[in-house]
Amino acid sequence: MPLTYQQLLKQISAKSKEDGESLQPPCSAKDLTDLQAQARKELGVELPSGYAEFLRQHDGLDWNGLVIFASKTVPIVGYKDRFIEGFIDWNLEFRDDDWKNQYVVFGDSGMDLYVFEPKRKKYSARDCVSLDQNESYKSFEEMITAALRNHL
């Protein structure tokens, strides 16, 4: 049976602790509610329940080259000068070209963007530069699991 993203996060947490670091704390209920309202207003999308659940566990992730965006720009735990970008801000900046409005981006690995296409109801990993599809997923949970597995 394949590992779930929650199990992978536990492994990442254990490795972080070995290095004297820790993962981000959970997103507050208010910040999550605000994010859901902003996603509707600013991006015209409903947040996937899987992403909301991820944020309830960790408000963003910066691990081994993988960044999963936080509810808003937040400092990385243990650092005063490093931040995880906020979901809304990153997506608004990404959408500088109208044709990119078809994508909602949840994370970035430097090589891939982890995206959802609301009109097609499709999750995928896409090349950061060309936006060619590299992998396709059935759900946010499947996509985030693959992203975490690729960075362990």
Range of the domain at 17: 5-150
Mean pLDDT of the chain: 94
Whole-angstrom Cα distance, residue 32 to residue 58? Answer: 11
Q: Three-class SS of residue 105? A: strand
* Contact in structure between 74 and 88 (CB atoms under 8 Å): no
The pLDDT of residue 1 is above 70: no
| Average pLDDT for 128-143 | 95
Whole-angstrom Cα distance, residue 144 to residue 80? Answer: 27
Phi then psi for residue 77, to 5 deg, are -50, 130
Burial (Cβ within 10 Å: 0-12, 13-18, ≥19) of residue 81: exposed
Burial (Cβ within 10 Å: 0-12, 13-18, ≥19) of residue 2: exposed
What CATH number should be reported for the domain holding residue 32? 3.40.1580.10
Q: What is the DSSP letter of 67?
A: E
pLDDT at res. 56 = 97
Q: Give this prediction's pTM.
A: 0.94
* Two tokens, residue 5: 């993203």
pLDDT tens-digit series, residues 35-62: 999 999 999 999 999 999 999 999 999 9
Total domain count, the chain: 1
Confidence category of residue 141, pLDDT binned at 50, 70, 90:
very high
Other CB atoms closer than 10 Å to residue 135's CB: what's the count?
15
pLDDT tens-digit series, residues 72-88: 999 999 888 999 999 99
